[in-house]
Structures are given as structure tokens and as C-alpha cells.
Chains A and B, each alone.
Chain A
Amino acid sequence: MASRSHVDVNERRLRPIYDCLDNGNNKKAVQEADKVLKKQKDLQCAKILKALALLRLGRHDDSSNLLDEVHAQHPVDEATLQAMCICYRETYKLEAIVDMYENAHKLKPDNEEILSALFMAYVRMGNYKKQQQTAMSLHRLQPQKNPYYFWAIMSIVMQSHTDKRLAATMFLPLADRMTKKYVEEGKINAEAEVQLYLIILELMGKYEETLNLLKGPLGEKLTSELLYQETCEAELYTKLERWPEANAAYKRLIKEYPDHWINWQNYISSCIKLESTDWTPLENDDSYSEVHYTSDMALTFIQEILTWQADNRLLRGPYLARLELIKVLRQTGSNKSISVSALPLMIEYYELFGDKFCCVEDLTIFTDLLSEEEGKQLIDTLSETLDMCKTSDITFASNVKQMQRHVTICKLKRHLGIFHQQPIEQRLVLTKEFLSRHQHGLDFGKDLLATDVQFSDSYLLLAVHLLVDIWEETEDTKYLWQGIVQLEKGMKKSISNFQIKVLLMRLYCIMGVYGPCHTLYESLEVKHIMNDTLGHTIFNHIGRLGHFMAACATYGSMLKFFAVNHKETAEYLIASYKYGSFNKINEFVKFRNRLQNSIQYISAQVESMLLDMGMETSKHQKTELMVSYMALAPDKERTPYEDLCDNRDLSLMRAWACPVKVSMQIIFDLCNIKEAEEYSFKEEKAWIQVRDLSLRILGACVILGQHSVGNINNRNGVDHEKVRPMNEVLEDLIKQFKDHLTNIQDFSKPYKVNSKDDEQEEKLKSCVPNILEGLLSKHRCSLVQSDNDKKCVNPKVLENLVFLTETLSHVVILTGVCHRILKPLKSSFNKKSKKKKDAAPVAMPSIFENYNHHLTSLETVAKDLHQAVLDIDPVFLSIDLSNLSLTEPLTVDEEDAAIEKDMWKKVEKSYQVSAWEVTEFLHNKMQYLNDLKL
């Protein structure tokens, strides 16, 4: 009793501290903790709560001192341990949690709570072996509690994922045996346990056994998911290639849910499989009476389902199933023909669903089935059903449904490449038609809420995509400017349409205008995981277009997402063990890896460091500090390039483009998105490697400069392992860099990373400032170019000057390294020559003079570059872009004119910001150079 009341007293005393912490009043929590500690100076829990409050106040050192003190005492009291666990989680010291519970467990080996917390600590670390051992200890402690036993089994399963060789010979058989033991002893009592057994059998490829399990008494425990057993069975028959059973199983599922697409697909493919092997049921064998084994039977079944559902809401599934049947027959090269063909089916589908938005997407899966002639026929037939298409004048839709039907036809036309075949003049007429249809259609949406998308927006998007096509063919930017004007106009009426915004951002970036994109991006409310999937929409442009401040902020929020996510998500692995969601455990592990290895993550890291190296340095000392602050480890690869994951969502933008036409264009579409995605990812990987190696080479040089003057202690935060000499690292990196540049020749067209004209090769041999100067004179030009009286904006200038500026910045840093090495040499030379007064004067080695020459030339280049950048600032040059007739309006419309004027203002502002930020950046570099005189 006495000890119990003692605990109560402590609890009562600690309560105010907990309350303060809960309310976020950390300052008061420290005071309350001090009060308690005055009375009981050794109360561990009070110390830890104080440490937690200090931590949250940002006093990390004070906090960790207290933590270390208590940690060393090996606490066992639950409240203390829990509070310590929170501290360590917030500082992401997961090893410390393990150590702490290991210590506690040694002192109290029979304490179930401590042991279970230790298990969770290993889960956070992903230490599956230790998890397994700890779960077994828990099982021995509480043999009647099933979950512990299954935690151990799951831990074994996780080990099988990390070691594929041992998986088959050791881990999976062990997991299998352990589970089977419980099955045989009749000890399985939860659905989760059966689930785990299914996972194991699946991994071992024991599909027959899985089937038996599903059909047996244990299968009845699987109740959470609807139709789970039935679906699993059907999948297993497919895996076992037992097509008759698979077919019957999918048929039953379709009867249950006639709109479930994947069931239709599997049903049809099993049917065709049977047909291609001429399978027939044995005579007098009723067990296969349900099986459909010919395409005709499949067709009959589909028709049957169609008549069934006639009274209810029309389902798309069965209608498309017939097209799928034709498609699969075609794909398998079957010579069987069925009594239906694609064209009339597609026409019928349009008749039924043409007013639905998704009609186009559904039909485009099957347009491959049509010949070019049939494609035209499809459009002709569909057009005949609409009065609007019949006259040569523009007849507007009389209601939303009719309009949507028309939109569907237009999108199909684009997808079938019909627009692409038309001459440009005709497409411009069409563009104008779409724009007026868009305007007209807005009347239907007058009463829509701001959160709704306008019914006629598709016309606008189609019109702008046409303009983009024309721009790609003619390279005349006036079409893009008009596209921007029209999108800006449309956005005012349909503020929630993200398609408009994404396309608008894309077009602005093509024209080198980042400014408006930032607002657009923010209005999309991109947050959390969208940083990873949608960040690319601005990420690749923000820096190259010289909006450095905005780049800093964007990289920052991206990095924050990635840094936080890994900490936060570990807890849900734990939750999965607690709730027995074993299916989710490996899924979570893979998910966390996918985020951790995201190319967006490494890009944000590298780009933000490169940016800091350039922006935050106006002196070489600062650069050295920066390199040590970044804990740059030039000899370490961040994430192996081949492990990088592409998490960009490139399917977001809809362009309904023609699959033949879209090859390497900027706007990807669903049709061949896989190919385009793969190419783009390779490109991104090649690029990030260039950037990463540049960063590491710069870092290596800076560190080398420090080492050369005996400052060897600075190991840049990496002092645990033996450090390779930095010059070796550097040589290695340069070799990698050179090799890489050779390897990515294929990409040199889109990015021009390694333009190999002879003129430049020659220059590479001469000195660096000359190269820079050459590049500058090559790329220097004015923002607005005149070509046969036609003026246009040249968006390339900006990007080229930004890259030159960055290159100059790198050269300045390297010059700083030279200075670092030469300066002490020069002073010791001076001393020596002074000492030897009497002797003949020693000639200074030419290096010093050469260095100074290099420096002066570099200063000249910097000045020239500075001027070149100033020359693209429209405000500095007092140019009014809107008066230069850089584009021709598509319509004679006051509103359009006003929006265009507005657009030019935004464009000017954006170029101005770019120019201003780049000149600021250059000021910094000029100051840097000033400091590097010998």
C-alpha cells in the first residue's frame, strides 16, 4: 500500500507539468518541473518532462544533457520511459529508444510493457531480426496471447523481403511451419492471423494450399472485405492457370457486380485462353457446366447482363466488355470472329454515354481497333447525330448535355489525329470556334459555385492545345502568348479548374516567365505528398529562370515534407502490428522507401545546396563555412542513382492528344504516357547526376583548399570512418563527371548539357575566363528579338544567362580555392626573398602572375555578364512589352485586350524579378572576387 500511495503522490505532483506540456506552455512546464525537482531532486520523470519542455523551447543542449543523465541511470518506471521515448522520437534518435528499453528490460525481464515497447522500438528501426526475438520473448511471457506469436511470424516474413535467397530456404518455411502449428492446434482465432497465413503462402507460391485454406473453416474468418474470399479464389485460379475455374469464378463475381471492370477483363481473358486451347468440358461432367470457353459464349453472356440491367441505371462495364472482347481477340492473334465489330459498338456507346465526361477516356482505350477510315467514319456518324455539327456556320449547343456530346466528338477528333492533318489556317479558325463555344457555354454555368468547374472549359483547353500544336510547328511564340491570354481569361470564370492552371503554368514557364506560376501553384494548395508528385510543375523552372528567392522557399517546404514524413510514418508501422494489419506492413515499408528515394527529394537537396553555395557566399570564408555547415561528404553518393524513384504525377494534365503525334512533346497524354514517362525520368536522372556531381566536386575542391594549408582537422562532420584523401576523391569525381557527360550524349538535344561544337572544344583548352566570355558572347542577346520586322520574346536568353551566372559562381569558388592555396605560398615566398637580401633576387614563379591575370579577366567577364543581365530587364530598358505587338489577338474583344495588357504586366514583372535577382547574385560574386587578390 505504501508504495502505491507513493506513486499517487508522484502522479499528483507531475500532473501540472503534463498539463502545461499538453497546452503547449513549455516555459511554464519548465518552471513546474523545477518546483517538483526542488522537493524531489532525483525524480527521473520530472527531469525528463523538463527535458521535453526544454526541447520544445529549442534549448536542445540543455535538454539532451538532462536526457543523457537519466538515460545513464537506466530508468524502468513507465511514465519516465514514455516521456523519454517522446523526446527521442521528436529528435529522431531511434537508437536511443532501443538502448533505453534494452536497459530497462535487463532490469525488469518479466515486464510485458517494457518488452512490448522494446519490440516497437525495433520496428521503428526496421530491425526485423531483433523484432522476431523480442516478439518470441513476449510470447514466452504471455503464451496465451496470440498477437505476440504472430508479431514474431510477421517479423520473419519481413526478413524474407530483405534476403531473397534465405527467404525460400529459411524464413518462409519457418513462418509457414510456425503458422501451421497454430492451425493444427486449432489456436487461430483472428482474421489477421489468417491474413498473415495467406501472405506467407502467397510469397511461397503455394496457391493450391491457399485455395484450400480459403475454402476451409479458416476462410470463414475473412469477413472484413466484401467478397474477399470469392475474389481471392478467382485470382488464385488465374495464377494457377486453371482457366475453367477462373472463368466460372469471375462470372459469379460479375453477376454480383456487373460494373466491376477488372472482373470483366479477367473473365474475358480466361475465356479466350480456353478458346485458344480448344478446351471443352468432358461429356457427362457437370462440374464445368458454368464455364464459358468460346468468345461467342462470352458475347452471349455480356448481352445477357446488358438485358438484365436495362431497367436500372446504365452501367458502362458490360458495354465496354464487348469492345474488350474484340481487343483481346485481336491481341492474342485469334482467328475467331464474333458477330460484333468495334465501330458500331463505339457508336452505340457514344449514343448511351456521349454526354458523360469520361466517355472520351473510355473510348480512347479502344480506338486502336479502328482503321483510319473507320476512325473517320466514327466521327462522321457521331457528328450526324448532333444538329450542331450539321451546318457550316457555328451552331451553339442548346443545353449542357448536348454541349458535352459535342465536346466528346471534338476530343475524339483530336485523339484520332484529325486536327493534326488540317492546315494551320484551318486550325486557327477552329481555335476561334472553340473559344466562342467556350464563351457561349459559360451561360450554362452562371449559377455554378466557385468550387465547381465550368461546363464548357473543355473547349478552352482544346483551343489552347491547338495553339500549342501550332506553336510547336511554327515556333512562333505569338500563339503561346494568345494561349496564355485565353487561359487567364478562362480562369477568371472557372477558378477551380486545375487543368487550366497546370497548363497555364506550363506555358508561362516555356516563355521564361516564372512570376505568375508561383501564385498559380499556391492556389492549387499543393501540400504534403503533393510536394513530391506535383512539385515538378514548378521545380525545374524556378531556379533556371532566376527566381532565386522563390526557389529557396519552395525547396525549403519540399525538404521539410520529406524530412518530416520519414519520422512520422514510422509510428504507423507500429500501428499495423497493433491492429494486425499485416498486409499493410510491407506496403508501408515500400512506401517509405519510395518517398525516401524520390528523385524530387534528392533534387531538392542538391538544388538547394547549390543555390545556397551561390547565394549565400560573398567571401571564400563563407563558402568554407557553408560547405562544413552542409556536412557535404563529396565521396558519398546520397542515394544510388539507380535506386531513385519517379513519383511525379505526369498523368494529371489532359490533352487528348493523338498518340502518333505525341512522341517527345512537352505535353504528355494518357495514350503513351508510360514511354514518355520513362524517357523523362532517364532525362531527369541524367540531369540530377550532373548537378550532384557538380556539387560534390565543388565541395571536394573547397575542402581540399582547406586541407592544403594544414587545416586537416576539418573533416566536415564525417570523422567516424577513415577518410579518403580529398584529392583522390576529387580525381574520382571528375572522372565520374566526364564519363557521365559522355554517357548522356543522347540527352544533349533537349538540355544541351554538353554541346560539342568544335569552337567550344577549342576554348576548353584555353583559360576559363575566355570560355566564359565566349559563352557570354554566344548567348548574349536582347530579350526581344526582331526578325524581319516581326518582334518576339526570346525566352532562351534568360535561362542561358542564369546558367552562365551559376557557372561563373562555381568558377569564383574554385578561384577562391586557388587563392586559399596560393596565398600562404606567396607570403612565404616574400619572406624568403626578404631574408636573402644579399643574394640575387629570386624570380617570382609565374603562377602568381597567371593567377592575377585570371582574376582580372574573371572580373571583366563578371561585369559583362552583369550588364548582359541588366539588358534583359524590361523595366531597366523602359520597354513596354504590351506595345511591341508581340502577338496578334485572336478576337476583337475589349476584355481580351485588357487581359492581354494585364498578362504583359505580369510578364514584365517576372522578367524584372529574374533580372534583379540575377544581378544581385552577380554583385555578390563581384564582391567575392574583390577579396581574392593576391
Chain B
Amino acid sequence: MTTIRPFTCDDLFRFNNVNLDPLTETYGLPFYMQYLAHWPEYFQVAESPAGQIMGYIMGKAEGSADLWHGHVTALSVAPEYRRLGLAAKLMNILEEISEKKRCFFVDLFVRVSNKVAVDMYNKLGYTVYRTVLEYYSGEVDEDAYDMRKALSRDTEKKSVIPLAHPVRPEELD
């Protein structure tokens, strides 16, 4: 039991129990507002019946021609609301919206070390399209998987054929 609704600015005041998780980044206000202004339908929040924020997904649609795709920028669920299938639900919404926008695929980046997340995305039908070297900077830089799932418009599933070689962040389009 969860209410999923569009994320609003006021939710920024209450998303601490999600964002204090060490793997969830808190961005500057412009970042969130850019998404809210440009792709409001891709920014959804899940709320518990007691009014707590359980998690949220933030994404966008971009790319031209057959690279037109939905992108998951952030997906996070607070520790206490995990193992309820909430992330899958939020991903599902993003995919449906991308379908409606006639996207060819949905993609996302995930830390190679974040096994829980990688496994979950696998279960949801995402496969590693390529590895991006040292995509996450920190004390030790870390590689990212660029994972993809083809949508119905990509009938031949061309978008998810894995690349043979890893790429560097500056080679990303």
C-alpha cells in the first residue's frame, strides 16, 4: 500500500530518510528543478500511508532517431521500505511512460559494485550494454554498467546488443 504520485518541490523537504542512505546522492536544487521543469512525468514519489516518503524515481527522455530513449537518473528506496517490490513498481512506471513516448529503450547507470541493484535490474529485464570506466569519481573511482532494456518499438532488440569494449565517460553521447 503505497501512493505513487508526481514528485513536488515540497517533497525535497521530506526525503531525508531516503537520501541519508549512503548510496543515494543529494544534488543541488537546480538539478531537481531541471527535472521537474522539463520531465515532470518522469519524477515520481512513493508515499506510505503514514505520510513518509518511501522512495522515488527520477528520469528523462532524450536522444535522437533510434537512440530516443528513457533514462533512469536516480532510483532510491529508503531502507525500511525495501523488499516490497517498490523499485520494480517505480521502474515499471518509467518504462510505461517511455513506451507512450515511443522510446526505443530505457537505460541506466549503476555502480559495478552495487550487486543488489545490478541483480534487481537483471530481474527486471535489463542487461549490461557496456561498461563505463571510472564513471563514478570518489576516493577510488569506480566503473559503471550502462544497462538497457529494449521497449516494444525496438522490435529487433538492436539497442541492447552489448558492446565488446568498455568506454570512457568522455566517449558517452
Across-interface contacts of A568 in B (CB, < 8 A): 28-30
Q: Quick check: A453 and B79 within 8 Å, CB to CB?
A: yes
Chain B 121-158, CB-CB to A under 8 Å as 1, else 0, gives 00000000000000000000000000000000000000
Q: Choose among B10, B30, B79 the residue that contacts A572 (Cβ–Cβ < 8 A).
A: B30
Interface size on B, residues (CB 8 A): 49
Task: Identify B16's interface contact among A317, A365, A533, CB under 8 A.
Answer: A533
- The one of A357, A450, A565, A649 that contacts B29, using a Cβ cutoff of 8 Å: A565
A572 touches B36 (CB 8 A): yes
Which residues of B from 71 to 92 have beta carbons under 8 Å from A?
Answer: 79-85
Interface membership of A610, Cβ < 8 A: no
- Could you say which residues of chain A place their CB within 8 Å of the CB of B36? 572, 581, 584, 587-588
B170 to chain A, nearest CB (A): 15
Contact A315 B37 (CB under 8 A): no
| Chain A: CB-nearest residue to B17 | A652
Whether a CB of chain B sits under 8 angstroms from the CB of A591 is yes
**Contact between A496 and B3, CB atoms less than 8 A apart:** no
Residue among A315, A358, A524 making CB contact with B20, cutoff 8 Å: A524
Q: Does A316 sit within 8 A of B, measured CB to CB?
A: yes
B34 near A649: Cβ-Cβ < 8 Å: no
Cβ proximity bits B1-35 to A, threshold 8 Å, 1 near / 0 not: 11111101110111011011111001111100110
In the complex, are the beta carbons of B49 and A320 less than 8 A apart?
Answer: yes
**B50 in the interface, Cβ–Cβ < 8 Å?**
yes
Q: Are B41 and A357 in contact (CB under 8 A)?
A: no
Residue-by-residue, is B49-60 near A (CB-CB < 8 Å gives 1, otherwise 0)?
A: 111101000000
User: Do A584 and B40 form a contact, CB below 8 Å, given A261-B1, A261-B2, A451-B23?
Assistant: yes
Instruction: Judge if B167 is at the interface, Cβ distance under 8 Å.
Output: no
Q: How far is the CB of A160 from chain B (nearest CB, A)?
A: 20
Q: Is A651 in the interface zone, CB < 8 Å from B?
A: yes
Asked if B84 and A572 make an inter-chain contact with CB atoms under 8 angstroms apart, the answer reads no
- B50–A587 CB distance below 8 A: no
A511-541 with Cβ < 8 A to chain B:
524-525, 527-530, 532-534
Say yes or no: B9 contacts A588, CB within 8 Å: yes
A534/B8 in contact, CB under 8 A: no
| B82 (CB) vs chain A CBs: closest residue | A357
Name the distance in Å between B105's Cβ and chain A's nearest Cβ. Answer: 19
Interface residues of B in 56-112 (CB under 8 A from A): 79-85, 93, 96-97, 100
A15 interfacial by beta-carbon distance below 8 Å? no
* Given contacts A496-B22, A528-B27, A316 and B1 within 8 Å (CB-CB): yes
- Asked if A651 and B30 sit within 8 Å, CB to CB, the answer is no
Contact segment of A206-214, A218-226, A430-438, A778-786: A218-226
A872 within 8 A of B: no
- Is B165 interfacial (CB-CB < 8 Å)? no
What separation, in Å, do the CA atoms of A651 and B9 have in the docked complex?
Answer: 18
Would you call A498 an interface residue if the criterion is a C-beta within 8 Å of the partner chain's C-beta atoms? yes
Q: How far is the CB of B13 from chain A (nearest CB, A)?
A: 5
Chain B residues closer than 8 Å to A576, beta-carbon distance: 37
How far, in angstroms, from A860 to B1 measured CA to CA in the complex?
Answer: 67
Known contacts A496-B21, A571-B30, A581-B36, A587 near B1 by CB under 8 Å: no
A794 contacts chain B at the CB level, 8 A cutoff: no
Within 8 A of B (CB), among A850-873: none
The CA-CA distance from A673 to B85 in the complex, in Å, is 28
Residue among A450, A572, A647 making CB contact with B13, cutoff 8 Å: A647
A533 cross-chain contacts in B, Cβ below 8 A: 13-14, 16
Partner of B10, one of A584, A591, A670: A591
Question: Is A753 interfacial (CB-CB < 8 Å)?
Answer: no
Bound together, the chains give a CA A647 to CA B16 distance in angstroms of: 12
CB pair B1 A579 closer than 8 Å:
no
Instruction: Say whether A161 faces chain B, with CB atoms less than 8 Å apart.
Output: no
Interface flag for A749 (CB, 8 Å): no
Contact (Cβ within 8 A) A649 B40: no
Q: How far is the CB of A323 from chain B (nearest CB, A)?
A: 10
Nearest-CB residue, chain B, relative to A361: B50
Known pairs A365-B49, A568-B30, A571-B30; A226 contacts B37 (CB<8 A): no
Q: Which residues of B contact A530 (CB under 8 A)?
A: 16, 19, 26
Q: Which of A450, A525, A571 touches B26 (beta carbons < 8 Å)? A: A525
Output the residue of B8, B20, B26, B83 with the most chain A CB within 10 A.
B20
Number of A-B contacts (CB under 8 A): 145
Asked whether, in the complex, the Cβ of A225 is within 8 Å of the Cβ of B41, the reply is yes
Query: Which residues in B have their C-beta under 8 angstroms from that of A590?
Result: 9
* Closest chain B residue, CB of each to CB of A225: B41
> Complex formed: what's the CA distance from A651 to B49 in Å?
14
Residue of A nearest to B49 (CB): A261
B residues less than 8 Å from A649 (CB atoms): 13-14, 16
A259 and B13 within 8 A (CB): no
A651 to B13 alpha-carbon distance, docked (Å)? 11
Task: Look across to chain A and name the residue whose beta carbon is closest to the beta carbon of B92.
Answer: A226
B1 and A652 form a contact (CB under 8 A)? no
**Known A529-B26, A529-B29: A226·B96 in contact at CB below 8 Å:** yes
Residue from the list B4, B14, B29 in contact with A528, Cβ < 8 A = B29
- Let me know if A596 is at the binding interface, CB within 8 A: no
Complex interface: chain A residues within 8 A of B79 (CB): 357, 453
Shortest beta-carbon distance from B46 to chain A in Å? 10
> How far, in Å, is B51 (CB) from chain A's closest CB?
8
Q: In the complex, what's the smallest C-beta–C-beta distance from A199 to chain B, in angstroms?
A: 13
For residue A709, CB closer than 8 A to chain B, the reply is: no
> What A residues does B97 contact at CB under 8 A?
224-226
Name which of B23, B80, B81 has the most chain A CB atoms within 10 A of its CB. Answer: B80
Whether A651 lies near B52 (C-beta < 8 A) is yes
Q: Which residues of B have CB within 8 Å of A672?
A: none
Write the chain B residue with the least CB distance to A353. B84
Docked pose: A707 CA to B44 CA in angstroms: 58
CB pair B30 A569 closer than 8 Å: yes
Instruction: Check: A313 CB closer than 8 A to any chain B CB.
Output: yes
Contacts of A770 in B (CB 8 A): none
Asked if residues B8 and A587 are in contact (CB atoms below 8 Å), the reply is yes
Contacts of B5 in A (CB 8 A): 262
Most chain A CB inside 10 Å of its own CB: which residue of B21, B28, B85: B28
- Chain A residues contacting B6 (CB-CB under 8 Å) are 225
Question: Which residues of chain A are near B1, meaning CB under 8 Å?
Answer: 259, 261, 264, 315-317, 319-321, 362
A587 B9 Cβ-Cβ under 8 A: yes
Contact with B along A438-459 (1 / 0, CB 8 A): 0000000000001101000000
For the complex, what is the distance from the CA of A652 to the CA of B52, rounded to whole Å? 9
From B19, which residue of chain A is reached at the shortest CB distance? A530
Interface centre among B8, B54, B93 (most CB of A within 10 A): B8
Contact B37 A581 (CB under 8 A): yes
Task: Give B79 Cβ to nearest chain A Cβ, in Å.
Answer: 5
Question: What residue in chain A is nearest B80 (Cβ atoms)?
Answer: A357
Of the residues A259, A450, A524, A571, contact of B2 by C-beta under 8 Å: A259
Q: A260 within 8 Å of B by Cβ?
A: yes
In the complex, A315→B22 CA distance in Å? Answer: 28
B50:A584 contact, CB within 8 angstroms: no
Q: Is A882 an interface residue (CB 8 A)?
A: no
Q: Are B33 and A572 within 8 A (Cβ)?
A: yes
A583 contacts B by Cβ under 8 Å: yes
A273-B14 Cα distance, complex, nearest whole Å: 32
Closest to B10 in A: A591
A565 to B41, CA, bound (A): 24
A851 to B117, CA, bound (A): 73
A261 to B2: give the CA distance in the assembly, Å: 5
Q: Does A625 contact B (CB under 8 A)?
A: no
Instruction: Show 5 residue pairs from A and B whose CB-CB distance is below 8 angstroms, ordered by the A residue.
Output: A260-B2, A260-B4, A529-B29, A583-B40, A591-B9
| Nearest 6 CB-CB pairings of A with B | A591-B9, A572-B33, A317-B1, A575-B37, A224-B41, A498-B20
Interface residues of B (CB under 8 A from A): 1-6, 8-10, 12-14, 16-17, 19-23, 26-30, 33-34, 36-38, 40-41, 47-52, 54, 79-85, 93, 96-97, 100
Given contacts A226-B96, A357-B79, 16 further A-B contacts (CB under 8 A): A225-B41, A260-B3, A260-B4, A261-B1, A261-B47, A317-B2, A320-B49, A356-B83, A361-B50, A362-B49, A364-B50, A527-B26, A530-B16, A533-B16, A575-B38, A651-B14
